[in-house]
Amino acid sequence: MRIMLFAMPGPMALPILQRLLELPVHVVGLVHPAPPGMPALALLPPATPTARQEVVTPVNLATLADRTGLPRWTVGRAGMLALAEQLASQQIDLAIVACWPWRIPTDLLRVPQRGFLNLHPSPLPELRGPEPLFWALRLGWTRTAMTLHLMDEAFDQGPIARQEWFELPLGERLSAIETLAGWVAAQMLPAALADLATPGWQPQPQPAGGSYYPAPQATDFTFTADWLVQRAYAFVRAVAEWGQPFTFIAADGQTALIADAMTYVTGKQQARPIVTNNDQIALQLRDGILLATPAS
């Protein structure tokens, strides 16, 4: 099976490429979304790290592709049709998508013989949209699912090939959770690829209903005193690496800006809803106290 991987160069995609390179498939290349200022479609030159960089720099998606001789392209919205023509000449059987910022046009979706398989870290049809792990954490979920589904013209609504639940590790950064989601998807790939190669196999349509959440805005980094303290800790701790301050709204309407969560205690009450002490701030939530670092 000839496979093209579409991926943003983040933590979720690396385990996917690593697993594909272990399987009896032919990975034809890697496509990244083009950053601003890049041509609509461009073939990237391979990186040439120094010997020292090869020793001290952890492997990432680009370096792994370069080490294994995979060509890498960047494509912008305006280059999607040109990319479709490029792939049509390469007889691609399947495209696998691990995080992608734009809707893929119909002409490109039709190029691979078996379509586009999207790896979406939510229990579709719930949490459609660009940042499902952010929203799972903000909603207080302690587990979520990885869904492998075939893409169609609608956003995150194509039929499901495989879906597996996994725990959201408490206190981990979002990048670590994204890596975990990638490993879950990677372990699902062999069975999914076998299904796709089986004559007569059909994916399951998504159930009716579901939910859609857009890209997070600054107001989505707010949490209130009626939250459970573990929920607040998990959310802040995970998303703090984005560098966006969080706004806490106390029961009496006071507010505090925090940068990160340190730890939490349950079953305790303090005299005031917000207590600042040197480089630490204590916030009273419904069932306990969140200890955090204030935003500068």
Are 13 and 99 in contact, with CB atoms under 8 Å apart?
A: yes
Are residues 122 and 182 both part of a single domain? yes
Is residue 202 situated within a structural domain? no
Q: What are the strands, taking DSSP E only, across the chain?
A: 2-7, 26-33, 41-44, 72-75, 94-98, 116-120, 143-150, 160-167, 222-224, 246-249, 255-266, 274-277, 280-285, 288-294
Q: What is the pLDDT of residue 278?
A: 84
Q: Based on the fold, state whether residues 31 and 160 are members of the same structural domain.
A: yes
User: Which of 136-152 are b and which e, b meaning 16 or more Cβ less than 10 Å from the residue's Cβ?
Assistant: bbbeebeebbbbbbbbb
The percent of residues above 90 in pLDDT, for the chain, comes to 84
Q: What is the mean pLDDT of residues 8-31?
A: 95
User: To the nearest whole number, what is the mean pLDDT of the chain?
Assistant: 94
What's the whole-model pTM score? 0.94
CATH classification at residue 52: 3.40.50.170
pLDDT of 53 strictly over 60: no
Q: What is the pLDDT of residues 63-122, one digit of tens each?
A: 899 899 999 999 999 999 999 998 998 899 999 999 899 889 999 999 999 999 999 999
How many separate domains does the chain show? 2
Q: Decide if 204 is inside a domain.
A: no
Host domain of residue 277: 218-294
